[in-house]
Amino acid sequence: MKREILDPKVDFVFEQIFGSEKHPEILIEFLNSVFGTKGTENEIKSVKIENPDIDKDGKKINFLG
């Protein structure tokens, strides 16, 4: 059986990986890597996910709860 890896460039997959309010450290690490701020005075130390819903074709979909 061949296992396929989900593409994190797809909104739903990205949301599942980085949009979890239970594990904000994943998003923090990602953002610090993208912005090159790890270990600097501008390092991101916390995040607040204000809207975890994806608006798809006018429908609000909450994937996190």
Task: Please state, in angstroms and as integers, the Cα–Cα distance from residue 32 to each residue in 39, 47, 60, 64, following that order.
Answer: 9, 11, 29, 23
pTM comes to 0.66
The pLDDT tens digits for 2-37 are 778 888 888 788 888 888 888 899 999 999 999 999
* Residue 39: predicted pLDDT: 94
* Residue 55: predicted pLDDT: 62
* Residue 26: predicted pLDDT: 93
Q: Nearest 10 degrees: CA dihedral of 44, 48, 49, 50?
A: -140
* Residue 11: predicted pLDDT: 78
CA distance 43 to 21: 19
